[in-house]
A and B are shown apart, each in its own frame.
Chain A
Amino acid sequence: MDNLTALIAGFGEVLTPLNLMIALLGVTVGTAVGVLPGIGPAMTVALLLPITYGMEPTQALILFAAIFYGGMYGGSTTSILLNTPGESASVVTAIEGNKMAKAGRAAQALATAAIGSFVAGSIATLLLVFVMPQVVDFAISLGAPEYLAIILVAFVGVSAVLGSSRVRGLASLLVGLTIGLVGIDFVTGQQRLTMGIPQLADGIDVVVVAVGIFAVGEALWVAAHLRRKAAEVIPVGRPWMGREDWKRSWKPWLRGTAYGFPFGAIPAGGAEMPTFLSYMTEKKLSRHPEQFGNGAIEGVAGPEAANNASAAGTLVPLLALGLPTNATAAIMIGALEGYGLEPGPLLLEKQPDLVWALIASLFIGNAMLLVLNLPLAPAWAKLLQIPRPYLYAGILFFASMGAYAVNAQPFDLFLLLVLGLLGFGMRRFGLPVLPLIVGVILGPLAEKQARRSLQLSGGDPSGLIGGPVAWVCYAIIAVVLLWPLIARVVRKIRDSDKNRDREVVA
């Protein structure tokens, strides 16, 4: 019950006019960027990072969390109306949602997405209240070697499990780790990868990396693919649902929540897998399986609930372990470090007010999002009529301003451009961006934990494998990395068995 008491205290903290204003601003901006394909909450949070350095950390985090939640709501709008998912988490929503819109049921699809997101978001945030402190209790007992092992699981998770290609994921992770290496070695004081440039001695600021990769990279990518036929306007109308729609939606909402939260909470989860699983489940359980592929409302309700629940689940490793499992969370970790707070198990102990205020703000933000999204859906859809040049000119303006504001050095603008070109190249060759940003932010942390463990064991590498938690982690990593090999061997054995059976029969 301590958790609930703390949560109520958190509500007390959040319910000030200023904090409510910030939450409202966050959910509005979040929905807007979620609606626009290519511009996501991660880019927005990166662009806003430098601006929030003047704010209280609590308020900045309320803003970021609100943008994160808002992006999840907004993403469904584009998926449904345009068949262009605004977020990777709403790819599955597009399958049935766009079919519904084409059949003139856009209003119902948007309604079930918004209400389902609200239901899932509220339940999952409540789960967060109960689960997160338990994870902290467990995590606080972990030593440096165990912590290192958990970070390595996160590395392998984001690069090998999420995304389509392991090689590309690992390549992107290595690029990120390399960027994270730039600067002065914190133990020996040697300069690493600074190429004699004094501005690089402090390392490359996370803001510059995130803004360069997300904002400049995306802007260059869009500039290279500017021309594209416009779509017709799909009349939206005011979202509403009939009795039949409610009846068919509420179970998928709950099942989607059940999938989304745990997947979000594990260090290699993400939102793509639970949305896909939810879709498959609804397809199997539906009493109208023939409607799947032609606009079944269950196929929108389930995945939309799943992606919001996983967004809440993401906050478990973020707040309890300091581990990000998606790009927005990674940049929020960077923000915490920017405020001089140490993300990790000690955060809840040292800054309980901040953590509980943040969680309370999620409940409020969720309610705001429902109000903002249900009646205003047609207005959000109008955002899609903004010409791209205006949009990206604004983004580049904020990107350059943000990168310059970090250190007030023209050198950072040069760096921004180089990183932007890197981001463009990664999009061109299909490298995922998430492993890079996780590598940049967690790389130095992993190094710190590794060297701390080595110092404790006097340089003996066996010190890196201390404790059962670390063993389990390394076992997981080994299985994940070797899985293609194992699968191939198993298949070969099975095939040869089959051949032998056939020979016997013959």
Chain B
Amino acid sequence: MTVLVGYVPNAFGEAALTAGVEEARRRGERLLVVNMSRDDVLVDARRAGQDELDRVGRDLAELGASFEVRQIEEGNDPAEAILLLASEETASVVVIGLRHRSPVGKLLLGSVAQRILLDAPCPVLAVKAS
């Protein structure tokens, strides 16, 4: 069993990561941090750079957690990628960051978080950035 954290390089991702570490410690389970970048755009703001992933790895190693950092670079749907990974790894909980969306924004673009909340095979912990 694992705790799956959807990581993005911003305040929401950091909040999710912090909550994920706590959750993994509480449950005594392995932590799987995943960053997804779409392959149909030239530049993806949600892509975490190698130095960023290294930093996350260093921080987690210092905390002494059992963890894995993974980057997904194929596909164009982060929600689907995380849901697939959650069922493959039989995650006990998925941790994601939640950001405020305006009604128009939701209507136009849909929400990755919403789809994970609705379709996840396990409980989802959604945290807000402090």
Pairing of A with B: yes
Interface: B90 (CB within 8 A): no
Asked if residues B41 and A385 are in contact (CB atoms below 8 Å), the reply is yes
CB 8 Å contact bits of A68-92 with B (1 = contact, 0 = none):
0000000000000110100000000
Asked if residues A232 and B43 are in contact (CB atoms below 8 Å), the reply is yes
B74 / chain A contacts, CB cutoff of 8 Å: 227
A232 / chain B contacts, CB cutoff of 8 Å: 43-44, 47-49
CB 8 Å contact bits of B41-59 with A (1 = contact, 0 = none):
1111101110000000000
- For chain B, residues 29 to 75, give those with C-beta under 8 angstroms from any C-beta of chain A: 37-45, 47-49, 73-74
A386 / chain B contacts, CB cutoff of 8 Å: 41
CA distance A387 to B45 in the complex (A): 12
Majority secondary structure of chain A interface residues (helix, strand, loop or mixed): loop
B38 is contacted by which of A81, A233, A384, A387 (Cβ under 8 Å)? A387
Interface: B114 (CB within 8 A): no
A226 / chain B contacts, CB cutoff of 8 Å: 39-40
B37 / chain A contacts, CB cutoff of 8 Å: 229-230
Q: A230-B47, A232-B47, A232-B49 are in contact. Are A385 and B42 (CB under 8 A)?
A: yes
Contact residues on B (Cβ < 8 Å of other chain), bracket? 10 to 19
Asked if residues A388 and B41 are in contact (CB atoms below 8 Å), the reply is yes
B42 is contacted by which of A82, A227, A389 (Cβ under 8 Å)? A82
- For chain A, residues 246 to 291, give those with C-beta under 8 angstroms from any C-beta of chain B: none
CA distance A381 to B44 in the complex (A): 11
Q: A385-B44, A387-B76 are in contact. Are A230 and B49 (CB under 8 A)?
A: no
Beta-carbon nearest neighbor of A84 in chain B: B42
CA distance A82 to B43 in the complex (A): 8
CA distance A229 to B36 in the complex (A): 11
Asked if residues A385 and B45 are in contact (CB atoms below 8 Å), the reply is yes
A389 is contacted by which of B40, B44, B47, B49 (Cβ under 8 Å)? B40
| Shortest beta-carbon distance from A80 to chain B in Å | 13
CB 8 Å contact bits of A376-400 with B (1 = contact, 0 = none):
0000010011111100000000000
B40 is contacted by which of A84, A381, A387 (Cβ under 8 Å)? A387
A231 is contacted by which of B40, B42, B48, B76 (Cβ under 8 Å)? B42
Asked if residues A228 and B39 are in contact (CB atoms below 8 Å), the reply is yes
Asked if residues A227 and B39 are in contact (CB atoms below 8 Å), the reply is yes
Interface: A133 (CB within 8 A): no
| Shortest beta-carbon distance from A320 to chain B in Å | 39
Asked if residues A384 and B41 are in contact (CB atoms below 8 Å), the reply is yes
B48 / chain A contacts, CB cutoff of 8 Å: 232
Beta-carbon nearest neighbor of B44 in chain A: A230
Interface: A466 (CB within 8 A): no
CA distance A388 to B37 in the complex (A): 14
| Shortest beta-carbon distance from A334 to chain B in Å | 30
CB 8 Å contact bits of A356-383 with B (1 = contact, 0 = none):
0000000000000000000000000100
B42 / chain A contacts, CB cutoff of 8 Å: 37, 82, 84, 230-231, 384-385, 388
Q: A227-B74, A229-B73 are in contact. Are A385 and B40 (CB under 8 A)?
A: no
| Shortest beta-carbon distance from B9 to chain A in Å | 8
CA distance A431 to B74 in the complex (A): 30
Beta-carbon nearest neighbor of B75 in chain A: A227
A387 / chain B contacts, CB cutoff of 8 Å: 38, 40-41, 76
Beta-carbon nearest neighbor of B9 in chain A: A232
Beta-carbon nearest neighbor of A82 in chain B: B42
A81 / chain B contacts, CB cutoff of 8 Å: 43
CA distance A387 to B49 in the complex (A): 19
CA distance A84 to B44 in the complex (A): 15
Asked if residues B43 and A384 are in contact (CB atoms below 8 Å), the reply is yes
CB 8 Å contact bits of B75-92 with A (1 = contact, 0 = none):
010000000000000000
CA distance A226 to B38 in the complex (A): 11
| Shortest beta-carbon distance from A487 to chain B in Å | 40
| Shortest beta-carbon distance from B31 to chain A in Å | 23
| Shortest beta-carbon distance from A285 to chain B in Å | 34
Beta-carbon nearest neighbor of B50 in chain A: A232
B41 / chain A contacts, CB cutoff of 8 Å: 230, 384-388
A227 / chain B contacts, CB cutoff of 8 Å: 39-40, 74
CA distance A136 to B40 in the complex (A): 48
B76 / chain A contacts, CB cutoff of 8 Å: 387, 389
Asked if residues A231 and B38 are in contact (CB atoms below 8 Å), the reply is no
- For chain A, residues 216 to 241, give those with C-beta under 8 angstroms from any C-beta of chain B: 226-233
Beta-carbon nearest neighbor of B45 in chain A: A233
| Shortest beta-carbon distance from B81 to chain A in Å | 13
A229 / chain B contacts, CB cutoff of 8 Å: 37, 39, 73
Contacts A227-B74, A230-B42, A233-B43 supplied; 6 other A-B pairs, CB < 8 Å: A230-B41, A231-B47, A232-B43, A232-B44, A233-B47, A387-B38
Residue pairs across A and B with Cβ atoms less than 8 A apart, 19 shown, are A37-B42, A81-B43, A82-B42, A82-B43, A226-B39, A227-B40, A230-B41, A230-B42, A230-B44, A230-B47, A231-B42, A231-B43, A231-B44, A231-B47, A381-B43, A384-B42, A384-B43, A386-B41, A387-B40
Report the 7 A-B pairs with minimum CB-CB distance, sorted nearest first: A230-B44, A384-B43, A384-B42, A232-B49, A227-B39, A230-B37, A387-B40
